[in-house]
Structure formats: C-alpha cells, structure tokens
Amino acid sequence: DTAVSQTPKYLVTQMGNDKSIKCEQNLGHDTMYWYKQDSKKFLKIMFSYNNKELIINETVPNRFSPKSPDKAHLNLHINSLELGDSAVYFCASSQELRGDTQYFGPGTRLTVL
Amino acid sequence: AQKVTQAQTEISVVEKEDVTLDCVYETRDTTYYLFWYKQPPSGELVFLIRRNSFDEQNEISGRYSWNFQKSTSSFNITITASQVVDSAVYFCALSERGNAGNMLTFGGGTRLMVKP
C-alpha cells in the first residue's frame, strides 16, 4: 500500500490553463505539505496544512491554492499556468506539526508549454 | 532565518569506497530537527534519518552512519563500502521548532555517483 500517493505522475499542459494535482495519504497523519522541486533539483516548501490551518510560504504566487476535502487529502490547484511553473511537485505528510518526519509522495512532473 | 548548505554538489567514487557527504546548517532556534533524504534516479524522496538538536549521539544503520556536531553546526552522513545502488542525490534538511508550519528547509543536494 502506498503511504503517500499523487496523481497524475506526469502533467503536460498549455500556458494559461488551470490544473490540479491530487494527493492522498493513508498514514493517518495530521499535517500535509506541498513542495516544489525546480530543474536544478532545489526543493522549496510551498504550503503546510494542519487541522484546517494553512501556512503559506510568502514567496508562493496566489495562483497556487491548496484544497483539503478531508484530513487524508491535500490537492494543489494552479490557475493561469506559466512556463516557470514547470517543475516536480511533491506532496508530503507528517504525524505532528513540529519537527516530525515528513514522508513524501512520488512527485508529479508538471510541464507547461 | 534557517539555512542549509551542502557544499559538495557532485561526488564520484568507485564501488566499495567510503564516502562522506557534508551538511552545514544555520539556525537561531535552540530546538531544531535535522534530516537526510535520498532521491534516487527514479525520483522519489526517501527518508533516511531524523535528529533533534538535543541528541548529538552519532548513529550507525547498516552502511550509513551519521555525525552530528552542534559545535560546528554540521550533520554529515558517511556511506561505508558504497554500492552502485547508492547513486542518488542526497538532501540535508532543517526544521526549526519555532517554525509554525514545520516547513523543511533543504540544502541544494549532493549528487553521488558510484561507479562499478
């Protein structure tokens, strides 16, 4: 059983489109995250979400919005996609909010043409 | 502000050699957490180890060993008798207790290539 899963694995789309990436965890964790990995492999936090509390990295454009229908899911919605949004997006989860280990999903490679 | 530096961008070794990957961190918090993750060519991020700032005891797990030194703000990993399957990008990461969102700050990664 996959602990943290993401769909789709690959996403190719045109500039200006709106797209969503889904994330589900079956670990019973309370906190979920989204990270972005750019072409140089640099990983950067985008959001942290715990018990309906959303903490946003201030550098994330407001075109990006996380949506959580329940504790096991945290989807990432992106409006008006730009070329610079091309990256690998990782979802993660942890049991506790402070200092606990984060377990990552397999990643979604987004390509904006 | 927290910062993680992995000065070695790429390391190449021959199988069975020992290799150490360096990680230096900066934080103003007295309580913090350090992590190592491995990203093989398949792309997933695999958790290797977690340490809190009060636990300086070094650890060995299989062919991996970790050296945590608060005095030098370093958290290095050594792979003994490296194997081709160890080829991956290794990331060091830091989370401060005062960070409300438990957000990880990652270093730039070290690409390890193990040649047969």
Q: Does A104 touch chain B (CB under 8 A)?
A: yes
Provide the residue type at A39 as one letter. S
Tokens describing residue B5: 């530096």
Q: Which residues of B touch A50 (CB under 8 A)?
A: 101-102
Provide the residue type at B115 as one letter. K
Under 8 Å CB-to-CB from B61, ≥6 apart: which residues?
B49
Distance separating alpha carbons of residues B37 and A84, to the nearest angstrom: 26
Distance separating alpha carbons of residues A47 and A91, to the nearest angstrom: 10
Q: Which residues of A touch B45 (CB under 8 A)?
A: 90, 92, 104, 107
- Lowest mean pLDDT: which of A29-33, A94-98, A109-113, B83-87? A94-98
* Nearest chain A CA: its distance from B15 CA (Å): 25
* Nearest chain B CA: its distance from A73 CA (Å): 17
A41 dihedral zone (left: phi>0; alpha: psi -120 to 50; beta): left
Distance separating alpha carbons of residues B28 and B105, to the nearest angstrom: 14
* Nearest chain A CA: its distance from B80 CA (Å): 24
Tokens describing residue B25: 């961190």
- pLDDT 10s digits, B28-84: 999 999 999 999 999 999 999 999 999 888 888 899 999 999 999 999 999 999 999
Report the residue from B31, B89, B102 with minimal CB separation from A97: B102
Distance separating alpha carbons of residues A103 and A68, to the nearest angstrom: 18
Tokens describing residue B47: 């958790």
Percent of chain A with pLDDT over 90: 76
Distance separating alpha carbons of residues B2 and B65, to the nearest angstrom: 24
